[in-house]
Structure 1
Amino acid sequence: MTTLLNEVALINGRRIATGRHGEGVPVLLLHGTPAHSIIWRNVVPRLTAAGLHVHVFDLLGFGASEFPREADTSVVAQSQLIAELLDHWGLPQIHLVGHDIGGVSALLFALEHPQRLHSLTIADAPSYDSWPSPAWRGIHEQFADHARMAADEHRALMARQMAMAVFDKNLMQGALLEAYLAPISGVIGQPAFYQHQVAHYDSRYTRDFEQRLVTLNLPVQILWGAEDEWQPLDYAHRLHRDIPGAVLHVVEKAGHFLMEDAPEQVSDYLLGFIRQARPT
């Protein structure tokens, strides 16, 4: 699979795999879990062709970035990493897009640093009490045991979970499935996955959203897969109600990984919203 990562940044002594593509208006795309920047591979070319300077990176403890033995890799820590990378790239302001827990980190960043955003788009993001979802709750509760389970058992479990992430089940197989499984498998990847990702599937980071989101004062777009099996559509409508002025687009025949099911539609929504929110 083609990687979007073409640079490395050293942030607080940690190696972060990053990528920049195109020229023009800067936008940052954040992936979620269990994923990495590959999830944007069919969106980035459409954005760069339309004149955007697209930035991506693998979250700390994800994908090709460093898997630290000891580090905070929660959504709160990842939101702080956004600010540090923007400084690294010399970007005072940006259009920010976050999917899944990347969407949570993006919301947390927006609440703390609204002046650094031209616009915010979140997609299928955990919120309020929506996570861990029923499909992940048992895995989250036993994440330490799963970190030590047999490798083939872990991969089989993850293959079943990944199939739930898309509406078109034929997508998540072969080379694409392997591209998602590779960073979370093996003697390093498997325990790191449970330590840096599953252990942080915790609604304590978002329970107070009802009180906090009403303070957002910037253009916000919400994208959601109509067939999301992990984050029900009801939560998209709740976010829409609580974020002042937010717009909501539901993508039909798309699951939690809506960029896999409908990359062209997702790209069109991003481009339309960014153009509308672009500063004069």
Structure 2
Amino acid sequence: MTLLTDSLVVDGVRLAYRDRGRGEPVVFLHGTPSHSYEWRDVVPRVEAAGFRVVTYDLLGYGGSERPVGRDTSVAAQTDLLGHLLDALGVGQVNVVAHDIGGAIGQRFALARPERVRRLMLIDSVSYDSWPSATWRKIIDENPEGFASMSQDELDALLTRQLRMTVADDSLMTGDVLGAYLAPHQSAPGRASFFEHQVRHYDSRYTEEISDRLGQLTMPVRILWGERDRWQPVRYARRLRDAIPHADLVVVPEAGHFLMEDAPERVVREIGDFLRTPLR
């Protein structure tokens, strides 16, 4: 399924995006190694529930531009999110953020609290939780990046990693697995994977804001897969305890890509959260 439908130039770079529905705005931020495909079973249903939904591929990911030499760290992506919302005429927005998208969501909510109505963090990176142990090992073993790898080698590496993201391994096979691998199926794609994604797996972007999480005053819901092998549930509890009035929902028999293991539950939790009264 092709979720994104359009592209636009924001701050000098091209982003692939989708902007549909009418009503209160919601922006979805995906994780890594991923792109907006992960929201394919969620976004259309949130649109149908009466919300204006903005979904896009982060810079350097999926169908968005992969500019050489451009900063694609979560700090830079946070700034770009603000530019995107400005370009689309979105003032205040609900943020639904997964994995490293959660780092962007946390940083944006702290930097621009007046623009964030509600914040949902789904299996988000936080504190010193990333890169995960398996990604740290891969980075250490490939200091020059992934451009020199053969396509088969990178596909095998990513397949092993992606199968760790779900509690039910059978969900990460066939066309679904192929869709996650697709952005990296070329020499430029292999190089971009390191340059725009892996090179920026750096916990300093969350550690440097960790002592400010108590400043968040908007409603926050933390949604987590109980069997997340990359971001253990203890980090979800730590976030809940640090953020005033945050609530935590742990989904059994689900992993890091919660929207693959339990899309119906994700849709239900988002819908419920978006009806939470503002403080």
TM-score range, shorter chain: over 0.9
> How big is each residue's C-alpha offset from its partner over 1:255-278, in whole Å with a ceiling of 9 and x where there is no partner?
100001111101111111111136
Sequence identity (%): 50
Aligned partner of 1:122: which letter?
Answer: L
Tell me how far apart the structure 2 counterparts of residues 244 and 208 of structure 1 sit (CA, whole Å).
Answer: 19
Q: Give the match for residue 33 of structure 2.
A: 34
Tell me how far apart the structure 1 counterparts of residues 49 and 39 of structure 2 sit (CA, whole Å).
Answer: 16
Q: Give the match for residue 194 of structure 1.
A: 194
Q: Give the match for residue 246 of structure 1.
A: 246
Q: Give the match for residue 181 of structure 1.
A: 181
Tell me how far apart the structure 2 counterparts of residues 244 and 155 of structure 1 sit (CA, whole Å).
Answer: 42
Q: Give the match for residue 210 of structure 1.
A: 210
User: Gapped runs of 5+ residues in structure 1?
Assistant: none
User: Residues 30 and 145 of structure 1: is their aligned pair in 2 closer, same or farther, counting only changes over 3 Å?
Assistant: closer
Shifted more, 33-42 versus 177-186: the winner is 177-186
Aligned partner of 1:55: which letter?
Answer: V
Aligned partner of 1:134: which letter?
Answer: A
Contact 2:7-2:17 at 8 Å conserved across structures: yes
Contact 2:224-2:251 at 8 Å conserved across structures: yes
Could you state the TM-score of these two structures normalised by the residue count of structure 1?
0.96
Q: Does 1:170 align with 2:170?
A: yes
TM-superposed CA distance for 1:210, in Å, is: 3.3
Q: Give the match for residue 89 of structure 1.
A: 88
User: Gapped runs of 5+ residues in structure 2?
Assistant: none
Tell me how far apart the structure 1 counterparts of residues 210 and 175 of structure 2 sit (CA, whole Å).
Answer: 40
Q: Give the match for residue 260 of structure 2.
A: 260
> How big is each residue's C-alpha offset from its partner over 1:2-21, in whole Å with a ceiling of 9 and x where there is no partner?
11111111012211001012
Tell me how far apart the structure 1 counterparts of residues 48 and 17 of structure 2 sit (CA, whole Å).
Answer: 20
Give the match's secondary structure for 1:67. Answer: coil
Give the match's secondary structure for 1:277. Answer: coil
| Structure 2 counterparts to residues 1-280 of structure 1, below 5 A | 2-141=1-140, 142-277=142-277
Could you state the TM-score of these two structures normalised by the residue count of structure 2?
0.97
Aligned partner of 2:171: which letter?
Answer: L
Tell me how far apart the structure 2 counterparts of residues 264 and 30 of structure 1 sit (CA, whole Å).
Answer: 18
Contact 2:26-2:96 at 8 Å conserved across structures: yes
Tell me how far apart the structure 1 counterparts of residues 145 and 27 of structure 2 sit (CA, whole Å).
Answer: 35
Residues matched between the structures, number: 278
Aligned partner of 1:96: which letter?
Answer: V
